[in-house]
A and B are shown apart, each in its own frame.
Chain A
Amino acid sequence: MKLYEQTASSLSQLLQNKEVSSVEVVLSFLDRIELIEPYVKAFITHTPAMALETASVVDSRRSGGEELHPLAGVPIAVKDNISTRGLRTTCASKILENYIPPYDATVIESLKTAGLPLLGKTNMDEFAMGSSTENSAFYPTRNPWDLERVPGGSSGGSAVAVSTGMTPLALGSDTGGSIRQPASLCGLTGLRPTYGRVSRYGLIAFASSLDQIGPLSLTARDSAMLMNVIAGHDPLDSTAVSEAVPDYTAHLEDGVKKLRIGVIKQNVATGFDPEITAAVMKTVTLFKDHGAEVDEVSLPLTDYGLGAYYLIAPSEASSNLGRYDGVRYGYNHGGDNIETMFSATRGKGFGAEVKRRIMIGTYALSAGYYDAYYLQAMKVRTLIRRDYEAAFRRFDILVGATTPTPAFKIGEKIEDPLQMYLSDVCNITDALAGVPSLSVPCGISSEGLPLGMQMTASPFREGLLLKAACFLEQKRDPVSLRPRVKLPEGGEV
């Protein structure tokens, strides 16, 4: 039995039955990392010693008869924009290359309390700005299904780490698709929770009104288990809601009977890859065959979503990223006076895409443009919310493709920001509306690339999404969705 091939829930069972130790589990993943990582570059920082230490503590507590969290001893990887005390947190940016936070994000504290060994911090687009992980200041991450292709982004490192069996679980963050799009491109389940469901305290901000931390995993059950660890109110985050947290694993196998499913017209559009549309429609049929009620729904404001998003998110980013000025921490380029120091530090410290978005946001918030851009975008956002509210009066779940195409080639869109932005077109309106949204694998393309379906529910109904995803998994063997990584020098791992 290869431990690294197991899902988090089966590892949880093995550990609770004391069939394996957490140290054994961690060592299995560390071996896998050693083998695969050089080809895919999913991590920025590895923390094997830390992982083994946590694992051995968990093992001794468990053997001492302590009642531990079901995920205690199951390892995890965390996106490198989530602050970890004493462990550098770079946001894949040169400007934070050597930044070591003096505090843990609330989700990290929750992971520590539950006893999940941390394997490392994963690669991402710089400051979570991008859809391919090519915007990492260090190196791009490669898609294990085809090493010439991108894994999606910005949580590409987290997606690849799970997909290749380097970790059973990972945390990502989703501002406008950064969990769901890479999950789709790598064949995983990825959940963007309701805005406010998971504390943002310690998540390095890109766009504060949109950022959410969420799980990436092989199965819906694994994501549900991880949600049980990270969801909940946090007195340190004013936007974290106090709504009670359900047990996300409780209703996973309830099936889809009577579930009202709306197929979003705009997200199975004609411009999309026909294989994706076909896979989504086939899955919808599966739902229908098992007692779900299916109908089509239009979200007419979807067309304006992308425009609104690319004003709101950069506006907030232009403000959030102002603090990287070289005065207190991070990269400092020096200079003759304070102004040259500021501009040289920021000029050299940020990458091209980050600078582009700071420029867009600064412009959109400027006197004389604010009303036409930022304020107008906020109005669109309000209308999009209403669109969703209306749709959720008729449907429990809205579905469509997660991405218009499967994974694209590295370098294919990097010179064309607009094309890159369009790869998130299906993910953005959910984020603007603040509703929970999940990507689940729904097929493999003729080229052997994973295809994803996106499912969206009304606020705080993550459980419903996980239930529907779990239903789909039961129709297939999840581990068979793992890629065989074809090595450039020949052979597979």
Chain B
Amino acid sequence: MKYEVVIGLEIHLELQTLSKLFCGCSTTFGREPNTNCCPVCLGLPGSLPVFNRRAIEMAVTVALALNSCIHPQSRFDRKNYFYPDLPKAYQISQYDRPLSGGGFLQIEFDEEVRNISLERVHLEEEAGKLIHSGESIMGSEYSLVDYNRAGIPLLEIVTAPNLASGREARLFLEELRSVLLYTGASDCKMEEGSLRCDANISLRPAGQKELGTKVEVKNMNSFRSVELALNFEANRQEELLSAGGVVVQETCHWDEEKKETIPLRGKEGSSDYRYFPEPDLLPLVLEDSFINQIAATLPELPASRRVRLKEQYGLSGSEAVLFTVNRPLGDFFEAAAKLYSDYKNLSKWVRGDLLYQLRESGKTAAETDPQKFAELLTMLDGGEINRPVAKELLTEMVLSGKSPQKLVREKGLEQIAGDEQLLPLIEQVIAENSDAVESYRQGKDKALAFLVGKVMAMTGGRADPGRLNEILKEKISRG
């Protein structure tokens, strides 16, 4: 039988606010443990939460960017459970009246555009962080807890069960990251835990409407792990079902080293979180004017940027993707395109030599001047410099920020344009390399390149290689 994979993702991401969701404590990562804390985020007796307006603005921004419908009135609830990293023994979250409902995100998949629909987006608070002396909390002699993270605003994004493979899940996450980076809401560092993803995955016979038994997969620490873990789990379930077995509803951990999903033991049965409305907070009422104001300031989002780049500059799909994913590079391209209209050539240089130089030098596109870059290409097109010199200048330009004209003057790199300057040098090379001249005459084309190189070296690379070829051929014609 043929099976169809059904995946739903639950994404948690830390919003990049300066202060926490319900108090004024800093959210800076990596501080001395338990120093970004106050009575509120430590849940000290008598303390009370107060909304951070910025966090709400950011949450609304993300929800709008995901085409999710903002609820004019949403509510915060308490999710009750005991755990040492949870200072109040409840998490302030949103249960049945979340910030927004529905929504979708567009992904491009095998040249096809797909809308992945979303269930909801809601806001909640982050818990603290535990470090165990042993393997787990139950097996450790002691555990340490750091509440610096407790109370950081956390956005939960839940997709509908409509992803069909590990690869689609990964593409979705990549697109989501792109959107989040564009909105400035999160730095999306899975390694630092600022973006986390759990997945529900089930299989059903192709064509069947009803969903199969799902398995929850946790502990996937990179987009790649998500893809690997879901593919592994899909295969495992398929083998199991094909062999006549049944899938057991359970929670698994992805084991990064063994590259397999391992069922979690111990926490059997679903917890009863005893949700009820948080009495310390009023319902969150969002006026239309507030929502519209945020909608009006939404930046251009990746999907529309890709379309625009293709239309405006005639770029290919992959070029548009690159200039969208690498936003600073795309911005650089667009700034240079205002001064240099051969977009194809510009794109080629930006994607190739510039990107290479940036990687080599550790500089960023934002540090490089697009105007000088456009000048460089214009000089090359006009024959003022040759290609090798252009590349050399680019290296210098990226490092020093100097203009190409200035560099050319400093280094005397103007292309030698007139034949009268080249001729004596060519004569000299022919005289000094009679063997090579002879080889060429006997039909070895390589020898010509050798001679060109010799002359080029004598000019410090400033000769026009095309013209040089022509003259040399003339002089030592195979007659």
Contacts and interface: CB of A to CB of B under 8 A. Distances in A.
Interface string A325-347: 10111000000011100100000
Contact of A91 (B45, B88, B275): B45
Given A235-B50, A319-B89, A101 B276 contact: no
A205 B45 contact: yes
A470 interface: no
Nearest to B143: A338
Contacts of B47: 103, 201-202
B39 interface: yes
B13 interface: no
A101 B45 contact: yes
A47 interface: no
Nearest to B272: A367
A322 B89 contact: yes
A201 B45 contact: no
B272 A105 contact: no
Contacts of B87: 323, 328
A338 B139 CA distance: 10
B144 to A, nearest CB: 11
Interface in B72-125: 78, 80, 82, 84, 87-90
Interface residues of B, number: 31
Contacts of B276: 315-316, 319, 365, 370, 374
A204 B90 contact: no
Interface in B131-149: 137-138, 143, 145
B39 A323 contact: no
Interface string B25-51: 000000000000001001111111111
A339 B266 CA distance: 13
Contact of A208 (B45, B51, B145, B279): B279
A1 to B, nearest CB: 39
Contacts of A204: 45-46
B48 A96 contact: no
A141 interface: no
A318 B90 CA distance: 11
A99 interface: yes
B46 A205 contact: yes
B396 to A, nearest CB: 56
Interface string A84-108: 0000010100001001011101000
Contact of B45 (A89, A236, A327, A339): A89
Contacts of B458: none
A103 B41 CA distance: 13
B84 A83 contact: no
Nearest to B82: A342
B280 interface: yes
Nearest to B145: A327
For B90, B280, B281, the residue with the greatest tally of chain A CB atoms inside 10 Å of its CB is B280
Contact of B50 (A208, A238, A322, A323): A238
Nearest to A363: B274
B44 A103 contact: yes
Given A238-B281, A239-B280, A370-B276, A325 B82 contact: yes
Contact of A327 (B50, B84, B282): B84
Nearest to A208: B279
Given A238-B50, A322-B88, A342-B82, A366 B138 contact: no
Interface string A209-245: 1000000000000000000000000011111000000
A457 interface: no
Contacts of B88: 322-323
Contact of B280 (A208, A327, A367, A370): A208
A238 B282 contact: yes
Contacts, number: 105
Contact of B44 (A102, A203, A208): A102
Contact of A105 (B46, B78, B282): B46
A366 B45 contact: no
A200 interface: yes
Contacts of B90: 319, 322
Nearest to B271: A367
Given A102-B44, A366-B272, A323 B89 contact: yes
B82 A322 contact: yes
Contacts of B80: 318-319, 322, 365
B48 A237 contact: yes
Contacts of A374: 276
Nearest to A127: B45
A200 B47 CA distance: 8
A98 B252 CA distance: 42
Interface string B258-290: 000000000000001011100111100000000
A40 B50 CA distance: 40
Contact of A102 (B39, B84, B275, B279): B39
A362 interface: yes
B272 to A, nearest CB: 5
A321 to B, nearest CB: 8
Of listed B47, B48, B80, B84, residue having the most chain A CB within 10 A:
B48
A464 B158 CA distance: 52
Nearest to A327: B84
Contacts of B281: 238-239
Contacts of A365: 80, 274-276
B274 A201 contact: no
Contact of A362 (B45, B138, B145, B274): B274
Nearest to A343: B82
A315 B80 CA distance: 11
Interface in B304-348: none
B45 A83 contact: yes
B46 A316 contact: no
A81 B82 CA distance: 23
A327 B90 CA distance: 14
Contacts of B43: 323, 328
A338 B137 contact: yes
Contacts of B145: 327
Contacts of B50: 235-238
A82 B46 CA distance: 8
Contact of B89 (A315, A316, A325): A325
7 contacts: A89-B46, A209-B279, A322-B80, A323-B45, A323-B87, A323-B88, A339-B138
Shortest 3 CB-CB distances between A and B: which pairs? A322-B89, A365-B274, A209-B279
Given A319-B78, A365-B276, 11 more contacts: A89-B46, A200-B46, A238-B49, A316-B276, A322-B80, A338-B137, A338-B143, A365-B80, A366-B272, A367-B274, A374-B276
